[in-house]
Structure 1
Amino acid sequence: MAMIGLSEGSLAPEWASRYPAHARGAIRLYGEEFHRDPAAVYWRLRTVHGPVAPVLVDGDVPAWLVLDYREFGQVLASPAYYTRDSNAWNSWDLIPADWPLIPMITARDTAWFLTGDEHDRRVAVLADGLGTVDPFELRTACERVADDLIDGFAGHGRADLISQYAELLPLRVATALLGLPPADSTAIVADLAIVVNGGPDAVTANIRLRDRLQAQVTARREHQRFDVLSRLVTHPAGLRDGELLEELQTIFAIVHQATSAWIGNTLRLMLGDPRFAATILGGRRSVGDAMAEVLWEDPPGATLTGRWTVGPRTLGRYRLGAGDLLLLSITAANTDPTIRTTAEVHHRNQAHMAYGHGEHRCPLAGQEIGEAIAQAAVQILLDRLPDIELATPIDRLAWRPSLWLRSLVDLPVVFTP
C-alpha cells in the first residue's frame, strides 16, 4: 500500500492494534508534501485504495478519508449509521488534551453539529432569519463595503486582495445585515479575525466577541428593529441567548472562512488563468463562470469534519470498526472521475458537494447570500480597477496549509493608482 513520494506515518503500538489497515503505510494529510498538491494526493489515494482510504491527520491519528462522490453522499445521508456526535469516537482515550484538531471535531451546541429535532429547530430559525434578507439591501451593503475597502488601497497601486479585501468584506457585510452599529461592527470583525486565525490572543478575543454579541442580543430583546438579528431574536422557536450566540459565531466563522475563500479563489482564477484573465474586458467568460468552476475545482471548504460509525460498517473496500472517525473530502468527491463530463459542461451543473449534503447541507438562504456577496465583491473590484494584474505568477501563489479550508495565504496585485 505504500506510495512513493508521499509522506507515510508510523503508528504507535496502541494505535496500530486498533487500526491495522493504517499501520501499513497510511498517508499523512498534513505537512508540506500534502499541502503542495492535495488533489494529486487524493487521486493517488483513490487509485490505491478506492473510494475510502486509511489516512493520518495531525499527530499521526488514524482516520478514514471518503473520496468518491457516491460514498460521500451515502455517509452524509445516513446519520443512523454515521453519526455527527463526536462522543462516539472510539479513540478519545488516546488523544492528548492539546491535540490541535480538538476544536474542529468536538461537538458544540450549534446546528453545525446537532442532529434530529434540535438541529431542525435551529436551522428553521437561521433559514427564516436569513431568508428575509432583501437582495437590493444586500447588494447595496456589498457595494458600500467594497467601495470603502477599495478606497483604502486604490491610491497605492498595489494591494493584497486577501488581507485587505476578501477577508474583510464578507464580515463587514454580515454585521451590516445583522444591524450592528458601525463602532461595534468594527470591534466584532477584528475579534472574529483573531478567533478564526487562532494564536495567543484567541481566547481573550473570543470572550470579548461573545460579550459584544450578547450586548446586541440583549438590546434586540428590549427594542426590536428591522434587521436580521431582531428576526433571529424574536423567532417563534425562541432560541435562548446561549443557543443564539453559538449560531451567530458559527455564521460568522462560515462567512469569514468560506465566503472569503470563495472570493479569493475566484479572483485568482479571473486574474491568473488565461481563459479568464484575457477576457475580463471582452467578457467571454463571466464572474459567474469562474465562481462555478471554483466550487467544483477549489471549493472553499475542502474537507468536512467528523462523522463516526455507529457500528461496524463496510465502506468501499474496507471494514470499519464501531466509532471510527471519517473525514469527507469535498475536493475529491467533486473530482471523482465517475461523475465527470467535459470540464466546461461539468462546471455548469449544481451537483457539486461544496455546500455539503444531507441534513447539514448549507441552507438555501445561506447559499444565496454567500453567492451574492462573493459575486458583488469580484465584480466591483474588477470594475473599479480594470487594469489590475497579479503581482506574482499564479503557480507561485501559496495556499494555506489546511486540510479543512482551500484558501490563499495572500493574493498580491498591481494596478494603476
Structure 2
Amino acid sequence: MSTPHGGSAAAPSAFRLYGPRFQTAPTELYRQMRTRYGPVAPVLLDGDIPAWLVIGYRELHYVLSHPDLFARSSRRWNAWDRVPDDWPLMPMVMRSPTVLCSEGEEHRRLAGALNDALAGADQHEVRQYAVQAADRLIDGFCTGSKADLRADYAARLPAMVLGRLYGLDPARADVLADAMTTMIDGGPEARRAQQFLLKTMGELVAARRQRPGPDVVSRLLAHPADLGDQELVPNLVVLLGGGHQPTTEWLGNALRLMLTDDRFAASLTGARSSVREALTEVLWEDTPTQNYLGRYAAQDVELGGQPLRAGDLVLLGLAGANTDPRVSPCPGASPGRGNQAYLSFSHGEHRCPYPAQELAEIIAAAGVEVLLDRLPDVELAVGVGELQWRPSPWMRGLVALPVTFTPVTPLGGQ
C-alpha cells in the first residue's frame, strides 16, 4: 500500500497494482483489498497513477452493463495531466479509432465488422489449422525428452493459427506474437513494439488490397462498414492481441492444471471430457486476463460504497470478480464445472466477440488434446512449487512450464 488515492478523499491509501505480489499470490492480494475496501478498491498504476479496481462480481457486472455510466473512451480520463509521454501503459490508454476505445454507434459499426470477419472463419478448418500447427510444434521437440511447454508450445500455437487466419506464414506470425507480448507487458519496449505492430499491419492491409484472399483482413476490407486504413490497421492489432495473448495463457494454464491436479489425471490417458472441464476451471480460477484497463466514470457515481468522480479510471478486475466469495464461497473451489457465468471474456457490448471466444476455445482445446495424444506420459520436470507466474497484474500465465516425456517419432509431412 502507498500514498493517498487521488480519486477519493475517503480512501486513505491505495494498493500498488504492480510488483512481485502479483507474481506470487494475486488471490491473497484481492482478499486483502476486499477486507480493507470491499468490492471496489483504490489502486495505483505504474508511476502511482490512481485508479479504481472493481473486484466484486455484482459490481463488475453492473459496470459492464451500464456503458452510459462507465464509458470506454479515454478522452474522459481526468488524470491525463499526470501521465508522462513515456508511461509504459500508454498503449493501453491512448486514444485510437479501435473497437476498444469507441462508443455508441461508432462502436457498433466497428464491432459488427470485426464480428462478421471472424464469424467468416470455418470452425472445422480452424480446428484443422490448430491440429496441424500443434503437430508441427510437437515435431520440433518430441525427439528429445524434455521441453518448455510455455515457450515451445503454448506461446506459439495461437499465433500460428491466427497468422493463418490473417493469411501470414508461421515465421511472420511468430514475430508478431513476440511483439504483442512485449506491448501488453507494458515494459520500456512497449511503445516500440506497438509501432512495429502498426507498421506490419499497414503492410498487410496494403498487400490484401492488391490481392484479396479467404482471410480475416480481406473480409474486413470488403465489409459494408467501409473501414479505412486508419481504422483497419489498429483494429487488426487489437484482434491479434485479443486472440493471441489470452489464448496462450489459457492453453498454458490448462496444461499446468492437468499436469498438477489429480482430478484431471484421467485425461492424460485420453479422456476428452476433462479437457473442456479444465479449460472452464482455468477461466474461473486462473483466468488469462486478470485485470483490464478500463472504463471511465461518465459522471460522479457511487460504486461498491466508493465515491467515484467523473473521469476516474475504472479497472475491470476479472480475476477478482471470478473469485468473489459471494460467487464462490469456498476458497479455491470454482462455482461448478458446467457453470459459464465467469466474466473472463467480459460482458456487455464491449465483451470479447462470440466468434473470437469460440475460436480461442477451439485453439486451446486442440492444443491440449493433441499434446496429450502425442506425449501420453508427459509430466512436470520440476516440483509444482517451483513453477513461477509472470509478474503481471494484467495477464495470468507461467514464466515456463518445463516437462519431461518419452521421446517419440515426429509425424512429419504436416
Same fold (TM over 0.5): yes
Q: Which moved more, 1:224-233 or 1:114-123?
A: 224-233
In structure 1, distance between residues paired with 2:195 and 2:214: 27
Task: Answer 1 or 2: higher relative contact order, Cα 8 Å, separation at least 6.
Answer: 2
Q: State whether structure 2 residue 12 is matched by structure 1 residue 19.
A: no
Counterparts of residues 269-308 of structure 1 (less than 5 Å) = 269-277=257-265, 279-281=267-269, 283=271, 286-308=274-296
How much has 1:159 moved relative to structure 2? Answer: 0.9
Q: Could you say if the C-alpha distance between residues 221 and 111 of structure 1 is closer, same or farther in structure 2, counting changes exceeding 3 Å?
A: same
Please tell me whether the aligned partners of residues 276 and 285 of structure 1 are also in contact (alpha carbons under 8 angstroms).
Answer: no
Superposed counterparts of 1:134-283, under 5 Å? 134-181=122-169, 184-185=172-173, 187-189=175-177, 191-192=179-180, 195-196=183-184, 206-277=194-265, 279-281=267-269, 283=271
Q: Could you say which residue in structure 2 is the equivalent of 1:57?
A: 45
Moved more, 393-402 or 280-289: 280-289
The alpha carbon displacement at 1:296 in A equals 0.7
**Residue number among 3, 25, 32 corresponding to 1:10 in the alignment:** 3
What does the per-residue CA deviation read over 1:154-210, in whole Å, with 9 as the maximum and x for residues that have no partner?
Answer: 112111111111111101111112222456545545554555556676655555544
Change (3 A) 1:211 1:85: closer
- What secondary structure sits across from 1:219 in the alignment? helix
Equivalent residue, structure 2, for 1:3: none
> What amino acid does structure 2 have at the position aligned with 1:124?
G
Equivalences, count = 405
391, 396, 399: which is aligned to 2:381?
391
CA contact (8 A) 2:328 2:335 kept: no
Extract unaligned runs of 5+ from structure 2. Answer: 408-414
Secondary structure in 2 matching 1:64: strand
Aligned residue runs from structure 1 range 349-388, under 5 A: 349-388=339-378
CA distance in 2, matches of 1:30, 1:195: 16
Residue matched to 2:90: 102
Q: Distance in 2 between matches of 1:116 and 1:90?
A: 21
Q: Residues 281, 117 of structure 1: CA spacing in aligned structure 2 closer, same or farther, 3 A cutoff?
A: same
370-379 vs 153-162, which moves further: 153-162
Which amino acid in structure 2 is aligned with residue 410 of structure 1?
A
TM-score normalised per structure 2: 0.91
Measure how far apart 1:254 and its partner are: 1.6
* TM-superposed deviation, 1:35: 3.1
User: Bigger CA drift: 391-400 or 364-373?
Assistant: 391-400
Residue pair 2:328, 2:334 contacting (<8 A) in 1 also = no
The secondary structure found in structure 2 opposite 1:153 is coil
* Partner residue in 1 for 2:398: 408
Give CA-to-partner distance per residue, 1:118-176, whole Å, 9 cap, x none: 11111111111111211221111111111111111111211111111111110111111
- TM-score under structure 1 length normalisation: 0.90
Letter paired with 1:395: G
Separation in structure 1 between the aligned mates of residue 244 and residue 393 of structure 2, nearest angstrom: 17
Q: From 95, 99, 108, give the equivalent of 1:111.
A: 99
How far 1:226 moved relative to its partner?
Answer: 2.4
- The corresponding residue for 1:86 is 74
Gaps of 5+ in 1: 1-7
| Paired amino acid for 1:257 | Q
